[in-house]
Structure 1
């Protein structure tokens, strides 16, 4: 006669842990962490990620304004196709031509397919773009995840307290908080933030800095003391001071005992900066 299968020691232990129902989120998180001997490490990590979403503000997850790949509503088709090919993204925020701080729509790359046979065709992005979804920087990640799921949307525009665009967040960004980095065939390994001495400057107190360098990294490397409470990158720090202007390249900003000069930029974002300590 075949013996009746009995629960494993691991399952018995897990049932014992689950015997006392947790009453708070912290108790539940502790229960998950105490269950490491019964569950796979990846499972523990995902459970912790789910529980942490409640305490994670969307500003911590978003792609900042300076790193957004975007379009403008009066862009020509050939320019748009260049951005699509270079970025390999499938969704693009579209900024207003009159109010460059404001996103007025979302373009899905697939909506351009009928025009690819005639690249010289005039395309009206206003007729193709979808209605954007806006969320505040202070929104919780679990709330935004639920909203994106309910609206069947993959991207949301993050706005600051003044209504200006501060970044964007995608469904993938939030899911990565749960399951870890999701890489596809278009993902490339990002280079480390660049801070090097400027060989063309006549002082030893000058450096070339990538705009996406985190302020914390800049502070640690060059013994500076800039706040990252409102913006996270050096490029964001400069945009916060000067706003969006028609020609970012060549603009200079005096902050504390530093002079920042924008060396490379396009119409929507900063790429390379010279930082000079006075």
Structure 2
């Protein structure tokens, strides 16, 4: 026996639309209800769309300090830096914006240098107009900096950047000291995920490469100091406390209690032996984590 569908028989796609209409029939009254509503919408919407909606809703709950580039990782310039040296730095780092610091105070940002503002200088160099190059100071090229607190909400930052039509802000801590920089791209990545441009090294930007298994030592990993503690806990199954600090480098400095002569220093936290293996001045770059417990519970082969 054959069953035929009349023109009035609803199709599977129309069933989905009806389900969506019923799902939307009751408007959410709180932010938590709206978040749950968006999360449950995966049955109707594309995953990427849902991820973006969740990213937008998460902005009010995300502080600037969570998305900024912290001070140790910021590549800046000093107002006394010569134009030739500035050009070398730009060619080496390929950023489009750089904070410029007062020559006498590393906490005082006098402005933001846009790489494109150096184009006239390049033209003068090509024309060998050396007198114009020497008379141009870096201070004359920078733009007025925009400041924001590290505890400010990310949606507040977004409105501020939109209203001022700038793409980088200087982040300050509770004492007014320079804490880092944050850009419009940082905000967009909170919504749409990592953005890799033509200058980025994909391997360097990939979060998975923040934690790399040691090639010879068992139960040992190399971890970038900038790795968020929560990410390290998720990746290695550790239980480091992130109540007072956010990164693995901050955790080690907190445990050691001092910030000088850190190279080679070790500290035992829970069942983990943590050693500083790469440091520049008082800034830690790389750590070595070794699981000292007999019950490791992590398969190194999954990282190879």
Same fold (TM over 0.5): yes
SS at match of 1:104: strand
Asked if structure 1 preserves the Cα contact closer than 8 Å seen for 2:245 and 2:251, the reply is no
C-alpha displacement of 1:53: 0.9
Alignment of 1:2-21 (within 5 A): 8-21=14-27
1:234 aligned onto 2:236: no
Q: Distance in 1 between matches of 2:52 and 2:174?
A: 32
C-alpha displacement of 1:84: 0.6
Asked if structure 2 preserves the Cα contact closer than 8 Å seen for 1:242 and 1:253, the reply is no
C-alpha displacement of 1:115: 1.2
My pick for the range that moved more, 113-122 or 175-184, is: 113-122
SS at match of 1:8: helix
1:212 aligned onto 2:219: no
C-alpha displacement of 1:67: 1.0
Q: Give 2:156's aligned residue.
A: 143
Q: Distance in 1 between matches of 2:79 and 2:202?
A: 31
Q: Give 1:154's aligned residue.
A: 167
C-alpha displacement of 1:88: 1.1
CA offsets, 1:90-145, max 9 Å, x none? Answer: 11111221111232210001111111242863341111111111111111111111
CA offsets, 1:167-222, max 9 Å, x none? Answer: 1111011111111111211111244237898x9xxxxxxx987553555678997x
Query: Whose helix proportion is higher, 1 or 2?
Result: 2
Q: Distance in 1 between matches of 2:285 and 2:143?
A: 28
Aligned with residue 60 of structure 1, among 38, 59, 66: 66
Please identify runs of 4+ aligned residues in structure 1 that moved more than 3 A.
193-197, 207-221, 223-228, 235-243, 250-266, 268-275
Which runs of 5 or more residues in structure 2 are unaligned? 1-6, 290-304
Asked if structure 2 preserves the Cα contact closer than 8 Å seen for 1:66 and 1:235, the reply is no
Asked if structure 2 preserves the Cα contact closer than 8 Å seen for 1:66 and 1:212, the reply is no
Aligned with residue 118 of structure 1, among 100, 113, 125: 125
Aligned with residue 31 of structure 2, among 13, 25, 49: 25
Q: Distance in 1 between matches of 2:120 and 2:258?
A: 40
C-alpha displacement of 1:231: 4.8
Asked if structure 1 preserves the Cα contact closer than 8 Å seen for 2:211 and 2:232, the reply is no
Q: Distance in 2 between matches of 1:183 and 1:259?
A: 31
SS at match of 2:226: coil
Q: Give 2:187's aligned residue.
A: 174
Asked if structure 2 preserves the Cα contact closer than 8 Å seen for 1:209 and 1:272, the reply is yes
1:193 aligned onto 2:210: yes
Q: Give 1:93's aligned residue.
A: 99
Q: Give 2:55's aligned residue.
A: 49
Which runs of 5 or more residues in structure 1 are unaligned? 200-206
From the superposition, tell whether residues 160 and 47 of structure 1 become closer, same or farther in structure 2 (CA, over 3 Å): same
CA RMSD of aligned residues (A): 4.0
TM-score by length of 1: 0.76
Q: Distance in 2 between matches of 1:20 and 1:154?
A: 38
TM-score by length of 2: 0.70
Q: Which has the higher contact order (CA 8 A, sep 6+)?
A: 1
C-alpha displacement of 1:242: 6.8
Aligned with residue 76 of structure 1, among 77, 82, 89: 82
From the superposition, tell whether residues 50 and 95 of structure 1 become closer, same or farther in structure 2 (CA, over 3 Å): same
Asked if structure 1 preserves the Cα contact closer than 8 Å seen for 2:222 and 2:286, the reply is yes
From the superposition, tell whether residues 166 and 179 of structure 1 become closer, same or farther in structure 2 (CA, over 3 Å): same
